[in-house]
């Protein structure tokens, strides 16, 4: 783990998974701009180091959400976490008829079980501090469904259910738990999709543009703030109106 700049004792600390690129990196930047100390987590150490070097007062830890041991080790290195953003996710797309169990397990274990185990790592500290923010990055497909993504959709819908249950469990300790459900966001992952598919998606977005990682990060920044202290168990859609 590396440390960029002096740690501010009074600042809150945010842990963001999947933070080496895309939405996770945008969330790290947005939170850092508010004075929050950020810990970037992902599997690729080289990308993490590069990303962290451009964010003042940030650190990074390697994290594989498919491994319970990796999760424990990452949070042990991170220390006290006030804000958790469960963003990391994988896809293994196929029609349900052809989907292999290994592909189902890989997506559920990382996207849902991994987020749950990560959340467990921060709950005691947040309860002791009587303050915390947990923000789960779900997806529009977790609300609307999507053919060929039964495993991914199930994991993202599961995150919404997890959000609502945890919100009820943690509210008495001043810990809010919310979800953000992005629509089609323009990242390096979506850039590789066929143009025909992207054109079809665009036709179903009332705002007539794809989202930016910064659009999602702005929602996360709000939910992590003091101003959002009376919001819990909510799903904030950031989808340009493609699902209402």
List active site positions.
152
Beta strands in 18-169 (DSSP E): 37-42, 58-62, 83-86, 132-137
Query: Of 75, 2, 81, 71, which Cα lies nearest the Cα of 37?
Result: 81
Instruction: State the DSSP H helix or E strand holding residue 178, giving kind and residue range, or none if neither.
Output: strand 175-182
Whole-number Å distance between alpha carbons of 66 and 231: 30
Distance CA 47, CA 15 (A): 16
Enter the tokens of residue 159.
């995150």
3-class SS of residue 37 = strand
């Amino acid at each position: 783990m590396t440390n960029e700049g002096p740690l501010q004792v009074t600042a809150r600390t945010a842990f963001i998974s999947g933070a080496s690129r895309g939405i996770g990196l945008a969330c790290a930047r947005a939170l850092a701009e508010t004075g929050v100390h950020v810990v970037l987590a992902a599997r690729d150490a080289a990308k993490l180091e590069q990303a962290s070097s451009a964010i003042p007062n940030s650190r990074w830890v390697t994290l594989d959400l498919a491994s319970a041991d990796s999760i424990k080790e990452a949070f042990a290195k991170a220390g006290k976490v006030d804000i958790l953003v469960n963003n990391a996710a994988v896809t293994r797309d196929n029609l349900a008829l052809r989907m292999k169990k290994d592909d189902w397990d890989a997506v559920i274990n990382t996207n849902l079980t991994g987020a749950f185990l990560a959340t467990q790592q921060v709950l005691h500290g947040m309860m002791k501090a009587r303050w915390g923010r947990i923000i789960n990055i779900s997806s529009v497909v977790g609300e609307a469904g999507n053919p060929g993504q039964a495993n991914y959709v199930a994991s993202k819908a599961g995150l919404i259910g997890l959000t609502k249950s945890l919100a009820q469990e943690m509210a008495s300790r001043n810990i809010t738990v919310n979800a953000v459900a992005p629509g089609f966001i323009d990242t390096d992952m979506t850039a590789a999709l066929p143009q025909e598919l992207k054109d079809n998606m665009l036709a179903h977005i009332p705002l007539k543009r794809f989202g930016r990682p910064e659009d999602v990060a702005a929602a996360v920044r709000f939910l992590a703030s003091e101003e959002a202290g009376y919001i819990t168990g909510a799903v904030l859609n950031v989808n340009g109106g493609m699902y209402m």
